[in-house]
Amino acid sequence: MTQAQLEQAIDEAARLIASSRHVVALVGAGLSVESGVPTFRGPGGMWTKYGEPDMRGYERFMDDPRKWWEERVSRASTYKELVEALDEAVPNDGHFALRDLEEAGHLKHIITQNIDNLHQIAGSIAITEIHGNRTKLRCLECSQRWDLDGFPLDELPPHCPDCGGVVKGDTVMFGEPIPRDALDECINQTRMCDCMLLVGTSAVVYPAAAFPEDVKRMGGVLIEVNPNETPLTAMCAAVLRAAAGESLPLVVQRVREMMA
């Protein structure tokens, strides 16, 4: 994509956002990569280095939550590199651009596949995390969530102070259903959405894969922000073939100019 083509795509994206009623961003790992969060798959990915995670993770948790929690506490060193990389990651200009779009009233919701809490740190408010949040815990019975920091872990597994249900990390494990409240909110947002921003995601994994398809089918438009071509590219009304941190701030600036 030439500079002129990118500028044209930024203009078109800004025009679509400014003229839509309910813009939703669907965000994937690509945005976190720009913040230095390691990927899981592929060369240099964490799974390539440390081996694939347990595909029966959720089943094992449910079999013996206490054992799982004890292992989690003791094996912390195995994933030290990943944990440190996550702890050091800070939001990039793409995260801040999404926050600015929300503050300006143009972005109604973020559906993210990332678990790194960077949208919250950037200051975004309306966020649904399909795969949970690494800094939180969740009650498996009532879906209440708490910050991991400060939650008492003297008894393993910890239990919900309200309903007594078993508490696990909020991050969704292999084999674990997407939390019902998160899935419901995604479906709700997708129904209202007439313009979906696809940021750093190829959305090939369900349920996320269904959202852009649904928006398109209901007559909405899709905008892709991704340095790489994806299976969604052909469905998009505007394609920004660039890093989100570079292109999204320009889109926000352009929207502001149009509304001024």
- Binding positions for Zn ion, rule: CB under 5 A: 139, 141-142, 160, 162-163, 165
- Tell the smallest beta-carbon distance from residue 160 to Zn ion (Å): 3
Instruction: Please name the residues in contact with 22: beta carbons below 8 A apart, sequence gap of 6 or more.
Output: 108, 189, 192, 193, 194, 195
Nearer to Zn ion, 1 or 142 (CB): 142
- Tell the smallest beta-carbon distance from residue 126 to Zn ion (Å): 24
Of 22, 119, 131, 159, the active-site residue reads 131
Nearer to Zn ion, 166 or 203 (CB): 166
Nearer to Zn ion, 57 or 165 (CB): 165
SS3 per-residue string spanning the chain = CCHHHHHHHHHHHHHHHHCCCCEEEEECHHHHHCCCCCCCCCCCCHHHHHCCCCCCHHHHHHHCHHHHHHHHHHHHHHHHHHHHHHHHCCCCHHHHHHHHHHHCCCEEEEEECCCCCHHHHHCCCCEEECCCCCCEEEECCCCCEEECCCCCCCCCCCECCCCCCEEEECCCCCCCCCCHHHHHHHHHHHHHCCEEEEECCCCCCCCCCHHHHHHHHCCCEEEEECCCCCCCHHHCCEEECCCHHHHHHHHHHHHHHHHC
- Tell the smallest beta-carbon distance from residue 142 to Zn ion (Å): 3
- 113 — phi, psi (to 5°)? -95, -5
Nearer to Zn ion, 165 or 207 (CB): 165
- Tell the smallest beta-carbon distance from residue 204 to Zn ion (Å): 33
Nearer to Zn ion, 163 or 205 (CB): 163
- Tell the smallest beta-carbon distance from residue 103 to Zn ion (Å): 33
159 is known as an active-site residue: no
Positions annotated as catalytic residues are 131
